[in-house]
Amino acid sequence: MSFLSPLLSLPKRRYWAIALAVVSAVLPWPIAGLHKFYLGQPIWGGVYWLLWNTPIPRIACAIDAVWYFVQGEADFNRQFNQGDSGAWTQQGGNLQPSNQVISMAEAMRELEQLRVDGLLSEYEFEQKRRQLLE
């Protein structure tokens, strides 16, 4: 499954989640819960798939599609793309790393450069790195 890690870490798009939920609700073959797999919720996707021949997943998929539509872009991104960390922001219709993430990456690069230059010991580097991540 490690080959899927880069794909799963990509930001999720609300319109794709809505489209997949609608397709899962409308089409008769067992693709129920496809949107749950896309959103990184494989257990719920599996439950939907196991119940594919009952009306339960179709109704749930329709409710999910409406929920994602009504929810709004900001709430969707908060729930499925970043948790509480604020890692992604909406800019020009595309999800971009937030300024906080960019500044954190720059600080980590500077810290790494200090370690490589021999100005920080491994212990000091690890302590500073942990402080930055907290």
Q: How far is CA 52 from the centre of its chain?
A: 25
Give the end of a domain, one of 57, 83, 109: 83
Same-domain pairing of 46 and 112: no
Helix extents (H) in 72-118 = 73-77, 99-116
Answer whether residue 48 shows pLDDT above 80. Answer: yes
- What's the pLDDT tens digit per position in 90-107? 555 565 666 666 777 788
Asked if residue 117 belongs to a domain, the reply is yes
| Residue 34 in domain | yes
Flag whether 51 is in a domain: yes
pLDDT of 97 reads: 63
In a domain, 90, yes or no: no
The mean pLDDT of 64-91, rounded to a whole number, is 73
Bridge partners of 96, per DSSP, are 89
Instruction: Name the residue with higher pLDDT: 115 or 101.
Output: 115
- Asked if 21 contacts 62 with a C-beta cutoff of 8 angstroms, the reply is yes
Backbone angles phi, psi at 123, to 5 degrees: -65, -45
- Count of domains forming the chain: 2
Domain of residue 77, residue span: 2-83
Residues paired with 88 in a beta bridge: 97
Whether residue 120 sits in one domain with residue 67: no
Query: What band does 84 get if pLDDT is binned at 50, 70 and 90?
Result: very low
Has residue 91 been placed in a domain?
Answer: no
Whether 24 and 78 map to the same domain: the answer is yes
Mean pLDDT value of segment 4-25: 77
- Do 45 and 109 share a domain, yes or no? no
pLDDT for residue 15 is more than 50: yes
What is the pLDDT at residue 99?
A: 67
Same domain, 57 and 107: no
Tally Cβ neighbours within 10 Å of residue 62.
Answer: 15
pLDDT of 85: 44
pLDDT of residue 82: 67
